[in-house]
């Protein structure tokens, strides 16, 4: 009499029962929703809300990884989910917002500029995921996608606050969008800030400096945020130029 053997399951039962950590993924979902909200508001012509939503997505994106490390809830699922959320919030959302606001009337050049940014954001995230174990943690290779998104969203926000329409600022928007996209996939190094130890004591002057920063940010958020991320985007090129000059002097 033949022996009937049980069919093998395609997946390990232990893997089927394994869940996901809810706390860090809540922040990732909030960042994803903020990016989705930015796209919806851009479709409705409320571009200021779109720009603010992208900055809110940045806040949540910065919190999810830190919460996961503090609570020891890192997982491969969380890393992949965070990357997909970043693609929506810092790839698709900024490109669609700036296209609807300023680039739509430029014809082919407009949608090409928006697509260049979106494609470069996808390439930047893919390269980051594949090189995460071999790169220097102190520096980013290329402009981080949240900073690039803040650069584009900051331009939209500050121009609207100054009373400029998208048509009046379309060339600035086009150049900045392409610049942000290309810089994301460049080899220019940017300081990551991951070597900062918050548990270590700092000089007293740091506390008033932080307070002054909050005062400046509260006085004019659009201009201060845009200037901050524009300076960060240019800092990588400034460091590269300085190192190139030093190499030429030594050679």
| pLDDT band with cut points at 50, 70 and 90 for residue 19 | low
Q: Is residue 9 part of a domain?
A: no
Q: Is residue 114 part of a domain?
A: yes
Give the DSSP letter string of 2-67: PPPPPPPPSS-HHHHH----HHHHHHHHHHHHHHHHHHHHHHTT-HHHHHHHHHHHHHHHHHHHHH
- Give the Cα separation of 121 and 143 in Å (integer): 10
pLDDT at 238 over 90: yes
pLDDT at 55 over 50: yes
Q: Is residue 180 part of a domain?
A: yes
CATH number at residue 125: 1.20.120.1760
Q: Is residue 10 part of a domain?
A: no
Q: How many domains does the chain have?
A: 1
Q: Is residue 14 part of a domain?
A: no
Q: What is the pTM of this model?
A: 0.86
pLDDT given for residue 199 in this prediction:
66
| pLDDT band with cut points at 50, 70 and 90 for residue 195 | low
Query: pLDDT digits over 24-39, tens only?
Result: 899 999 999 999 999 9
Q: Is residue 7 part of a domain?
A: no
Question: What is the arithmetic mean of pLDDT over 189-217?
Answer: 75
- Kindly report the CA angle at 247 between 241 and 251, in degrees rounded to 5? 145
Q: Which of 1-10, 21-30, 223-232, 239-248 has the lowest mean pLDDT?
A: 1-10
| pLDDT band with cut points at 50, 70 and 90 for residue 23 | confident
Q: Is residue 208 part of a domain?
A: yes
Which carries the bigger pLDDT value, residue 206 or residue 192? 192
Q: Is residue 6 part of a domain?
A: no
Q: Which domain holds residue 229?
A: 20-250
Residues in contact with 20: Cβ distance below 8 Å, sequence separation at least 6, in sequence order: 75, 77, 78
pLDDT at 13 over 50: no
pLDDT at 6 over 80: no
pLDDT at 8 over 60: no
Cα–Cα distances (Å) from 114 to 9, 141, 181, in that order, read: 46, 22, 9
Residues in contact with 89: Cβ distance below 8 Å, sequence separation at least 6, in sequence order: 31, 32, 34, 35, 38, 54, 57, 58, 61, 149
| pLDDT band with cut points at 50, 70 and 90 for residue 122 | very high
pLDDT given for residue 15 in this prediction:
44
Cβ neighbourhood burial of 146 (10 Å; 0-12, 13-18, 19+): buried
Which carries the bigger pLDDT value, residue 75 or residue 204? 75
């Amino acid at each position: 009499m033949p022996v009937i053997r049980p069919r093998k399951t395609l997946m390990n039962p232990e893997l089927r029962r394994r869940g996901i950590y809810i706390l860090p993924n809540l922040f990732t979902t909030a960042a994803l929703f903020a990016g989705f909200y930015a796209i919806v508001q851009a479709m409705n012509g409320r571009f200021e809300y779109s720009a603010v939503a992208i900055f809110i997505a940045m806040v949540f994106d910065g919190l999810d990884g830190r919460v996961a490390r503090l609570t020891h809830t890192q997982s491969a699922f969380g890393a992949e989910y965070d990357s997909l959320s970043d693609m929506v919030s810092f790839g698709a959302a900024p490109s669609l917002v700036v296209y609807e606001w300023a680039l739509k009337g430029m014809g082919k050049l407009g949608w090409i500029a928006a697509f260049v940014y979106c494609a470069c954001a996808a390439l930047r995230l893919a390269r980051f995921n594949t090189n995460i174990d071999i790169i220097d943690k102190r520096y980013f290779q290329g402009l981080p996608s949240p900073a690039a998104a803040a650069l584009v969203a900051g331009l939209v926000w500050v121009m609207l606050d100054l009373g400029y329409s998208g048509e009046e600022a379309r060339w600035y928007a086009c150049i900045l969008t392409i610049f942000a996209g290309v810089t994301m996939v460049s080899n220019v190094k940017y300081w990551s800030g991951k070597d900062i130890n918050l548990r270590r004591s700092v000089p007293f002057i740091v506390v008033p400096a932080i307070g002054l920063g909050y005062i400046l940010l509260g006085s004019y958020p659009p201009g201060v945020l845009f200037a901050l991320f524009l300076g960060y985007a240019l800092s990588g090129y400034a460091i590269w130029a300085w190192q190139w000059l030093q190499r030429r002097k030594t050679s």
